[in-house]
Amino acid sequence: MAAKKKAAIKKAAAKKASAKVPEKSHPLFDKILIANRGEIACRVIRTCRRLGIKTVAVYSEADADALHVREADEKVLIGPPPSTQSYLLVDKIVEACKKTGAQAVHPGYGFLSEKQEFQKALAKAGIVFIGPEAHAIHAMGDKIESKKLAQKAGVSTVPGWLHALKDADEAVKIAKQVGYPVMIKASAGGGGKGMRIAYNDAEAREGFSSATNEAKASFADDRVFIEKYVEEPRHIEIQLIADGRGNCLYLWERECSIQRRHQKVIEEAPSPFLDARTRKAMGEQAVALAKAVKYKSAGTVEFIVDKNRKFYFLEMNTRLQVEHPVTELITGLDLVELMIRVAAGEKLPLEQKDVKLNGWAVEARLYAEDPFRNFLPSTGRLVKYREPAPGPDVRVDTGVYEGGEISMFYDPMIAKLCSYGKTRIDAIERMRRALDEFYVRGVSHNVPFLAALMAHPRFRAGKLTTNFIAEEFKGGFTAAHLPPRDPAMLAAVAAVADRIKSVRLGSTEGSRVVMLNRQPMAVDVTGANPHFTVEAEGRQIVVQTDWSPGEPLMHATIDKQAVVVQVDAVGSGWRLINEGGQAEALVLTPRQADLYAKMPVKAAPDTSKFLLSPMPGLLASVAVSEGQDVKAGEALAVVEAMKMENVLRAVRDGTVKSLHAKAGDSLRVDQKIIEFA
């Protein structure tokens, strides 16, 4: 009897082990083409390289020197810079597959990833699409049709009008029926494009026009619909993986409530809001919905969750999500690998009970944009670029490199920075340090804004809604929103940097005056590398660092606290950047400080009489003419950049004196568009 029991246990263990091992009967692909660009293309290449699969990169003329092109085994030029003439051309991708012998295509996200026509064209050519079947893309990729299907499947959906709106008049009519506030949304695509909130008739009209135009430009599909806007909402999504054989698993959830203009900024896994019961219910509903369309591959079911944890189906993204790394960090799974194995015909190598939730992960999206100028896109060359050192608690997914370009033709993402910890606060604290370690020069970036988010008390408490940014940063982001910093600590850093530099030059004087943003602070520095003591503001500050002049980052322990400060030499002084804020520091002798205080400050030129282009882009339209009176808030012009329409409005009442640019002109930053009397 004991022998039989022992044999049964052995057999069960062998069966369990075999479930973890991919099937041998379905060999993986020899070569995969990635129909995408940037960080997601590099991400797919990374997994393919580990699996021993060769890769093919496609690229536009603007991306000839892009990182994904450099990292792939082969490359194929597919057209001019505009995505409509390159990355969105199905025939070009199919032709590239035939030319290189690629057996399968990974679409990444965006572009053709959710186009059923692309999947069908590949299937017709005998090429495997690493994603769901066309019927699932069609059923779930269309927001209107997917909501109808969800209703039939018994999934809770947001009240609304699930038909494409004909015109602005119908938008107003339906909005009144549903009840304000409403969300006007593009039926196709995602990424926050083609979405507007309306609280009244006027906003419904303008929202219909803007959402339609943006949807047409971004997705070549101008259909929009209306649904009730749930106030105080959270955006929580369930990650799925299915093998098309009835095996579908949910890999926990991601909280994506921190959004700006419906574009996700911070994501984390798991959600700080869900309890085990709600998590299970959402996961099971997501799986049921996926099974209803016989889903295969990775996909994400998005829900909106109210303050009582009641959740409503929003949409299903039939592709890999931008924020998939946080799921990988808490589960230990490689979603790209699972997608490839499923596409090759393998069963999932695990069951729901095998999906573990370990620790906490946070992702921050680093964009080339200026948060101090209403997050306007920034293009240009990355003169300096250094990432935080990777490790078990830090991950960087990027498609750029030092010397590369941030192009005006595509999304201005620089990188996705992920941090991991045993607890949520551990992950947040690691993210704060990693942001200090991310060194980018040549373009504006949103690191100061991300640093402010990580330090915000409400964010740290997990009290999130999709309105968080609008509520906490009313009137835009300013330096006042940055975490408070210790002036004496910054002065100590400047004094130590100057001391190390001076010792190298043969000078060892200790008494100095640090002009920190033109404010004097007497300091005295003693000690030698790597141990220093700084007397400042009546305090004794102990600094330990092995920093050398020319190094962009000063890793230091200051009064027993680990600190990272970015240190740039600027003229005879220093620019110090920490916690998203920066300070200009000059380290002077007392006599030099006296003379410096007497120097006049040059006033900035007065540009108040001009409407200046806040970004490089195309002047899509000008809404006023010379001699016209305008009121504060009135639309003056529309500048198109990064596939987004940016409406420029009057900040005060005035009269148009002259026009300095016309519709169709290409604009540079701060170029004059309108002059006022």
> If you average pLDDT over residues 362-381, what whole number do you get?
92
SS3 state of residue 276? helix
The structural architecture, per CATH, of the domain 159-228 is 2-Layer Sandwich (3.30)
Is the pLDDT higher at 596 or at 414? 414
Distance CA 410, CA 1 (A): 68
SS (H, E, C) 338-369: HHHHHHCCCCCCCCHHHCCCCCEEEEEEEECE
User: What integer pLDDT is reported at residue 614 of this predicted model?
Assistant: 83
Report the C-alpha gap between 44 and 33 in whole angstroms: 10
CA angle, corner 453, sides to 451 and 459, nearest 5? 140
pLDDT-derived band of residue 152, with 50, 70 and 90 as boundaries? Answer: confident
What is residue 508's predicted lDDT score, i.e. its pLDDT? 63
Does CATH number 3.30.470.20 belong to domain 366-483? yes
Residue 447: how many CB atoms within 10 A of its CB?
Answer: 23
**DSSP-H helix ranges across 21-79:** 38-51, 67-71
Q: Specify the DSSP class assigned to residue 373.
A: G
**Residue 119 has what pLDDT?**
97
Residues 545 and 531: their CA atoms lie apart, in Å, by: 7
Please tell me the distance from the alpha carbon of residue 107 to that of residue 41, in angstroms, as a whole number. Answer: 9
Mean pLDDT across the stretch 153-161?
A: 84
Region for residue 211 given its phi and psi (left: phi exceeds 0; alpha: psi -120 to 50; beta: otherwise): alpha
Output the CA angle 380-386-389, nearest 5 degrees: 150
CATH class for the region spanning 610-676 = mainly beta
Catalytic site residue from 214, 237, 302, 315: 315
* pLDDT value at residue 659: 94
Provide the CATH topology of domain 487-597.
Glycoprotein, Type 4 Pilin (3.30.700)
Instruction: Choose the weakest-confidence range: 229-238, 580-589, 593-602.
Output: 593-602
Residue 22: per-residue pLDDT: 42
Nearest to 67 by CA among 90, 92, 45: 45
At the topology level, CATH places domain 133-152+234-358 in: D-amino Acid Aminotransferase; Chain A, domain 1 (3.30.470)
Neighbours of 557 (CB within 10 A): 14
Where does the pLDDT of residue 189 fall: very low under 50, low under 70, confident under 90, or very high at 90 and above? low
Residue range 256-298, pLDDT digits in tens: 999 998 899 999 999 999 999 999 999 999 999 999 999 999 9
Q: How far, in Å, CA of 238 to CA of 255, rounded? A: 9
Closest CA to 158 of 132, 133, 176, 185: 185
Q: Could you tell me the pTM of the whole model?
A: 0.83
Sketch the domain layout of the chain as residue ranges: 31-130, 133-152+234-358, 159-228, 366-483, 487-597, 610-676
pLDDT digit string, tens, across residues 59-113: 999 999 999 999 999 999 999 999 999 999 999 999 999 999 999 999 999 999 9
Q: How far apart are CA 198 and CA 205, in angstroms?
A: 9
Between CA 550 and CA 28 the distance in angstroms is 47
Of 224 and 14, more confident:
224
In the predicted structure, residue 305 carries a pLDDT above the cut 70: yes
Is residue 315 annotated as a catalytic residue, yes or no? yes
CATH topology of domain 31-130: Rossmann fold (3.40.50)
pLDDT tens digits, 452-503: 999 999 999 999 999 999 999 998 999 999 999 899 999 999 999 999 998 8
Q: Which residue has the higher pLDDT, 16 or 252?
A: 252
Domains 366-483 and 487-597 share a fold: no
Q: What is the mean pLDDT of the segment spanning 157-164?
A: 84
**Is the pLDDT confidence value at 17 over 60?**
no
Q: Is the model's pLDDT at 44 over the cut of 90?
A: yes
- Paired sense of beta strands 182-186 and 104-106, if any: unpaired
DSSP designation for 192: T
Do the Cβ atoms of 225 and 159 come closer than 8 Å? no
Helices within 353-486 (DSSP H only): 424-437, 447-455, 457-460, 468-472
Measured distance CA(153)–CA(28) in Å, rounded: 35
User: What does pLDDT average to over the chain?
Assistant: 91
Identity of the amino acid at 49: R
Percentage, residues of the chain above pLDDT 90: 74
The reported pLDDT for the residue numbered 540 is: 96
